Structure 1
Amino acid sequence: MRIVAGWMEGVRQVPTPFFNARKKPFNISLIVIHGISLPPGIFGGHYIDDLFTGTLDKNADPYFAGIYKLEVSTHLFINRQGIITQYVSFLDRAWHAGRSAYNGEVECNDFSVGIELEGTDFEAYTDKQYQSLNAAVKALRRTYPQIQNRIAGHSDIAPGRKTDPGPFFDFSKLSPDF
């Protein structure tokens, strides 16, 4: 996998309007792992694309009435089959972390890449997701060497507010190679 001008080659690309410019100096130095399913606990379908592009139908599921107006995004999403979708260029700031801090640095959106995995706090992620995640992390580390081993869960950067990627995400399955 290669990253060219902020976009990962060979992945599905679905641009979103929900991003802005990164603050200067430009410093991508963290990967944040998230978990998402829409509706909660249901996998597959187009609802995650719809959420990240602002087209979620509030009437498609009762849960959506409370989230359809959210302006949120992520850089990458990896579904249960390991298919990667990119919504925001890595050169831009995705809106995935909210109020957050990592090792004393606040506002993680400014310096991180967000990667959403299709899943829940209550079941394991798939081997195909870990394979795709490792390939993406390798490409990100090669392109943005400041990342090094700085990989955190959403729950790590927003404790008490977020629980994802949940206890079934296995950090030991991340490859140390880059």
Structure 2
Amino acid sequence: MKSTAFDGQWPSARQMASPNCDQRPNSEVSLLLIHAISLPPGQFSGDAIEALFTNQLNSAEHPFFAEIAHLRVSAHFLIRRDGECLQFVDTDHRAWHAGRSCWLDPYQKAWRTALNDFSVGIELEGDDVTPFTKAQYQRLVAVTQWLIARYPQLDKSRITGHAHVAPLRKTDPGPAFDWAYYYQQLDA
């Protein structure tokens, strides 16, 4: 069966298209990368994350924004502190979230690069030190289950954090992310 342009849109997410995406080189989706973001750093709420992912970040609004406004980045999903989920990129397309990174594929037993080609990126609104909310974990589990059902190559062994694939550059989702609780909820 041929897929349509909207097959990779999760029905439970509010859709907000990002221009920072393109076609995947093939149909493989076999990695889920979990990220954390707050803009400005350490502050939650507001529309700065959406503005960054849609190339509308106003560099005059905060000194940090001037440093990052030129970036062309996105993620497939953003999960807010209250559990609201926004989808910026159809999961059948490549979002620009992983950057320079590499990952040891547990099945191929080989290091892989160009992770955006075959991964889905989920940003959690948060930082390294603030515990994530129960609502965020609930929504993350729901979207993870949808992704695993949708992509046969994706399973729990193919879920990791940004810090694990870019350890010299990134720390997210950070020590505040409770991996054990997430996996426990995923198995429930």
Q: Give the TM-score normalised by structure 2.
A: 0.90
Q: Which amino acid aligns with 1:120?
A: D
1:83 aligns to 2:90 (yes or no): no
Q: Which amino acid aligns with 1:34?
A: H
* In 2, Cα distance between equivalents of 1:177 and 1:128: 17
* In 2, Cα distance between equivalents of 1:43 and 1:176: 26
Fraction of identical pairs, as percent? 47
* In 1, Cα distance between equivalents of 2:25 and 2:181: 32
| TM-fit CA distance, 1:10 | 2.6
Aligned to 2:180: 172
| TM-fit CA distance, 1:173 | 1.8
Q: Which amino acid aligns with 2:20?
A: F
* In 2, Cα distance between equivalents of 1:107 and 1:167: 25
Which residue, out of 117, 128, 136, partners 1:121? 128
* In 2, Cα distance between equivalents of 1:176 and 1:82: 16
Q: Which amino acid aligns with 2:145?
A: K
SS of equivalent residue, structure 2 residue 135: helix
* In 2, Cα distance between equivalents of 1:8 and 1:109: 19
Number of equivalenced pairs:
174
* In 2, Cα distance between equivalents of 1:176 and 1:77: 18
Aligned to 2:32: 31
Contact 1:138 1:177 in 2 (8 A): no
* In 2, Cα distance between equivalents of 1:173 and 1:116: 17
**Superimposed CA distance per residue, residues 29-51 of structure 1 (whole angstroms, 9 cap, x where no aligned partner):** 01000000000001001000000
Which residue, out of 153, 163, 184, partners 1:155? 163
SS of equivalent residue, structure 2 residue 132: coil
Which residue, out of 129, 140, 147, partners 2:147? 140
Q: Which amino acid aligns with 2:120?
A: V
Contact 1:78 1:84 in 2 (8 A): yes
* In 1, Cα distance between equivalents of 2:186 and 2:43: 31
- Mark the runs of 5 or more structure 1 residues left unpaired by the alignment: none
* In 2, Cα distance between equivalents of 1:168 and 1:10: 25
* In 2, Cα distance between equivalents of 1:137 and 1:122: 23
Contact 1:82 1:131 in 2 (8 A): yes
| TM-fit CA distance, 1:145 | 2.0
**Superimposed CA distance per residue, residues 85-134 of structure 1 (whole angstroms, 9 cap, x where no aligned partner):** 00000010000000111111111111100000000011110010000000
RMSD: 1.1
**Superimposed CA distance per residue, residues 47-82 of structure 1 (whole angstroms, 9 cap, x where no aligned partner):** 000000000000011110000110000000000001
Contact 2:103 2:113 in 1 (8 A): yes
Q: Which amino acid aligns with 2:42?
A: G
Q: Give the TM-score normalised by structure 1.
A: 0.95
* In 2, Cα distance between equivalents of 1:132 and 1:148: 17
SS of equivalent residue, structure 2 residue 153: helix
